[in-house]
Structures are given as structure tokens and as C-alpha cells.
Structure 1
């Protein structure tokens, strides 16, 4: 999973996070969340996410584009979306999609899920039949119990101490990887409609398949620790990310909400 795709999906999930706190009390609402992305403190991107949620289903549609310094360095923009059902155990995606362009190159992913299993997957560009020997292909058996990068990060538990004691098996259409979470303490957070403690998770990336063993970017990420803060915003037993910090070779990339509008 490339860094750009990973950052995009984290931003989309944080948009869903803030939307849930607003939409949870009403039968059906549309919530727009505006986001800013910063690299070493400098604004490089912006994002907007529209979320619709009711008692049985949910959907999120997001848009992202480069901004500020990011517009001068790299032209990047795209969309990300997920839809599915609300179950007693949490949020079960039925369809996940990502479509973005960076420096003139376009990436598209359309993944359908059924009971935690990948039912169908279509990506562009497709992998070449003559891949490098260092490429690790995705095996069908590795897609039997996976989650998408958006709803997969919504953790349902009644025990705050267990939030960061788990491994999340993610699949985005290209790559299969595990996010290994471990406890990193707690922090107080203050957001629109919520003020309380967040569980701080230290996250390490463990690639499973769909990646190049010689990828310098991936090797860098494997040696770093991503920071995710989870808080029970929507309800006491559902923990979702409220903050993300991703290391890069030139400094930390952070995702921060700027406004939330309910329609």
C-alpha cells in the first residue's frame, strides 16, 4: 500500500469519525468534514468528506487535493469511498473504492466484500504478468478474512485497554498488509462535540503480499512507527481514529480536521 494511498484512507476515516459523532443521534444525516494535511507543519493538502449514516447502513464519499506547498511540489487529487452495513459487531463494508491521480498517473481500486472475504477486486493499473522477482503476489487464501482500510480501523470493544492490542488485516485492492497495534498510553482530546481520553496506538506495518521487497519507501515505513489516536466518539464501545501522524523521509505527515457541517 503506497504512502499516498495510506494517507488518503486515514484522512477519509477521520472524516467518518467526526461525522459519526454528529450523525449518531439522528435517523439520517449528511455531514461534511473539511480536513487539512500538513508535512513538517506546512499545509500540503486538503480534503472534504460527506458521510451518510443511519441505524442499518453507512457510506462515506471523500475528495482530496494538493494545496499550499503541496500544489507546487506535486499535483495530487482523488476520491475515496466505502459503504456497508451497521451490525451489532460494528461496521461491515460491502464495497470500497479509491481513485486518485498523482503527477499525471492514475490509480483506481474497486473492492467488494462479503462476510469479511474479498468477493471481487478490480484495480488499475493492473499488475504485469512479468513482475520483478522481488514482487510478492497476493494469494487468494490471504483474502479470506480481511477488512478495508476505512471501516477496518473502527474498533468495537467495551475495554479501552484492548483497543491497541490487536492486528488489523487490511486489503485495498493492490496490497495485503497487517497493521500491528500496540499500546502507547493515552491523551486528552477536544473535538467538536467530544472531549475526553484517546487511546494512543503505536502502529507498525507488516506487509503480507502485493508489494516489492526492494521498495525503498516500504522499507522506510517498516522501520517507522505510525501514531493513531482512538476515541469512543460515536458511542462508548466504538473506538475510531481522531488523529494520525505518519513518518516520511522529510518529516511527519499529520491529518487534522478543520470544520464539520451538518445538513
Structure 2
């Protein structure tokens, strides 16, 4: 699974749930490997009574750029029903060095109707676990899929995610509550442990996939948005073979 893809998946976005008029605002995140800054991400949300759009950008830091520059742009759009979001389309443009990949996914009622990948993947190895039709039913996009309506438990729950290449389950289990501070404001966050379960769209035995599958200590924190209507991710902890990556909201505009 792509590193920035996992980060985007665990970030989500702190969205408003305005009842009468459309709103637009931005959330910024810092991404560190231990204490070392390695990337920044920002999301802009536009939402009204019927529709929403979330646009995200990810850029590696100068110290990472010495090895290879990594960037990503993502966009998800769909419909709003009450406080629940349902994606119609999700796109990801991912670039590592000179290599660029685009993933474009269309959904209808939670089912994937079309996936376009550019460039087309090379011939898959024999140990490739292909995405089957059953993997594309009742799934969530990696961004708005992490927005949880008020009144529903943030965890325990299972999030069936499809990102245009891989199908995975994120199994969330409650770990209690902690205080989270962003932009000078303290709030109570719900802490969930994450178990990463790869389903399809990956090479069996791949070391980074196996590491994540067996990893302990992966977490995501959810906090209520300003309008008190939904829970959204504000912090994530992701063990990797290089060390632990932390993703934290640092500024919420709006």
C-alpha cells in the first residue's frame, strides 16, 4: 500500500455539518517520523445540505526530498444525508520522484462501479491477490469514510476501505479517551486502536504489508467537530519498518 495513501486514509478531515448554508474551510496536519518532520498535509472541505467535496494535498519535507520527493493530491465528492457522507467519486494523484500514478474510483450507493488507473499496472505476479467483485460492494472511500456521525460509536467498528488499488479492512477497537490540543484549543478525543487487514489488491508476502498486518500500537483519535455533529480524525499513530509515524492536526480554520 502506498505510504501517502495510508496517511490520507488515516487523516480523514474535520468537516462541518452546517444545516442551512454552505461552508468552506481548511485543516492542516503535520506528519513526523518520531520527532523528525517528514511531510505536511492539508484538506479543504466544501459542504452544503446536499453535497460535499474534500480536497487534500500531501507533500514530503525537504529532508525526505533528498532521497525522493513524494506528493499526493486527492479529491472526494458525494452526497450528504443528515450527518452521513456517501462518496460518488474518489481520485488520487500520487507522485514519487518522476513516477506518477492516478487512481479514479466511481461509487454508487456504496458500491464501486468503475476504477481507472493510469498508467495501467504491469502484469501482476503469480502471488498477486486480485480485487474481486465481492470486494467492491459496500465499501468506503479512504477520506470521507472516516467521518463518523454523532450518535454512532467511533469504535468498535470495521471500516471497509477501497482506494483504487487495494481493498482493506480497518478494524477499530476502543482504547478510551485522551485530551488532544490543536490550534491552542483542547478537546476530548476518542482513541481507537487499529488492526490493518489486507483483503485484496496486493502481493502476498510483501514485507511492508505483512509488517502492517502484524503491527501493534496503530491508533487513530477522533474528536467532535465545532458544530458537534460528527467525529473526525485528529491524530494517528502508524508503526512502520522505519519507525513510528505520527499524524496530527495543527490548525483548523472555521
Which one of 98, 101, 118 corresponds to residue 95 of structure 2?
101
Q: How many residue pairs get matched? A: 253
Q: Which residue of 2 aligns with 1:249?
A: 241
TM-score, normalisation: structure 1: 0.88
1: CA distance between counterparts of 2:29 and 2:187?
21
Q: 1:134 aligned to 121, 127, 136, which one?
A: 127
Segments of 5+ residues of structure 2 without an aligned counterpart are: none
Match of 1:123 among 117, 120, 124: 117
Which of residues 160, 163, 168 in structure 1 aligns to 2:154? 163
Q: Is the 8 A contact 1:82 1:93 kept in 2?
A: yes
Contact in 1 for aligned 2:160/2:167 (Cα 8 Å): yes
Find the aligned partners of 2:185 and 2:50 in 1 and give their Cα distance.
Answer: 24
Q: How does 1:1-263 map to 2 (within 5 A)?
A: 1-11=1-11, 13=12, 16-17=13-14, 20-21=15-16, 24=18, 27-88=21-82, 90-128=84-122, 130-159=123-152, 162-192=153-183, 195-225=186-216, 226-236=218-228, 238-262=230-254
- 8 Å CA contact 1:194–1:233 kept in 2: the answer is no
Tell me the distance in 1 between the aligned counterparts of 2:251 and 2:189. Answer: 20
Q: Compute the TM-score of the two structures, normalised by the length of structure 2.
A: 0.91
Q: Which has the higher helix share?
A: 1
Q: Aligned Cα RMSD in Å?
A: 2.1
| Unpaired segments ≥5 residues, structure 1 | none
